[in-house]
Amino acid sequence: MTIRIITRSAMIAVLALGTATSGAMAASSADEIREALVGNTFTGDMGGGGYASFFGEDGKYEDAAGGGEYEITDDGVCYPDTDFGCYEAQIDGSDLEWFQNGESAGSGVIKEGNTLE
């Protein structure tokens, strides 16, 4: 009987932990991404190296490689006509973590304005 109670308690704890963490891992909505990124700069780590990108109000981004076009959709931040695809974003204040195909693809902070200039 004691083992059964311990096992049941352990299962309840695991389920509660899974529920608590699953909310924290939810991707930000398109509106939340737009509010946080447009007109601002992401600075952080992407693909193992430092990276910074400014997201203009005109749907164009700028970075060290030059830049291009981006779209914010229900799938996240997408880069049409490129091999980059779409990245979901989890935003918490100024902290941002990018996800692609369910795996972390980078993280950093959102800085106000265009810090590349």
What confidence score (pLDDT) does residue 25 get? 52
The closest alpha carbon to 47, from 103, 114, 112, belongs to 103
Residues of the chain with pLDDT under 70: 1-25
What confidence score (pLDDT) does residue 75 get? 93
40 half-sphere exposure, CB direction, 13 A CA radius = 16
What confidence score (pLDDT) does residue 48 get? 79
Per residue in 82-110, pLDDT (tens digit) is 999 999 999 999 999 999 999 999 999 99
Instruction: Tell me the pTM.
Output: 0.76
Please give the Cα distance from 77 to 37 (Å, whole number).
10
Which two structure tokens, joined as six digits, stand for 33? 């991404």
